[in-house]
Amino acid sequence: MALVYVARSAALTKWASDVGQGKHIFKLAVAGDEAEAKAAIAAGWGGETDWKLVQSKEVEGLDEETAVARLTRREKVIDPTYYPRLKGAAGVFRITLTNVQNALLVAKAMTADEPLTDVKAKPKDIADYMIRNAIA
């Protein structure tokens, strides 16, 4: 089984905000197992080593290229050839917070128990959104 995971770097987020990409920057990747994912996160991407695992999920028969292509249908991937700092770091996404909030609101509307109120997306909610769209 493959492990789809989402990681986030505070330093890369600050850099992305400075270059006009916004502050909701996350990395989607697929690893063979949890140890491989932890090793990749520890190595880091984009010249940063402060990456933290936000969320992960085991799925059957999914590779990174397919997962990134599926999520690209909904969110904007940051082109690593345009930004030299991201050299070789495919799968870094600029997430639109409105899309995440809309998905959370629809999920909340589908449950009859909770009243519809304004939702505030947390990094874990964003990671769940990314994983759900990458495996669907």
DSSP letters along 65-89, please? HHHHHHHHTTSEEPPTTTSGGGTT-
Check pLDDT > 80 for residue 134. yes
Task: Please state the rounded mean pLDDT for residues 81-102.
Answer: 91
Domain ranges of the chain: 2-95+123-135
Report field, pTM of the whole predicted structure over 0.85: yes
Which tens digit of pLDDT belongs to each residue from 108-127? Answer: 888 877 777 788 899 999 99
Q: How confident is the model at residue 7 (pLDDT cuts 50, 70, 90)?
A: very high
User: What is the per-residue pLDDT across 38-83, written as a single tens digit (0 to 9) for each?
Assistant: 999 999 998 899 999 999 999 998 999 999 999 999 999 999 888 8
Contact 91, 40 (CB under 8 A): no
Distance of CA 84 to the CA centre of its chain: 20
What pLDDT, on a 0 to 100 scale, did the predictor assign at position 89?
A: 87
- Residue-level pLDDT at 36: 95
Burial of residue 81 (number of CB atoms within 10 Å: 0-12, 13-18, 19+): exposed
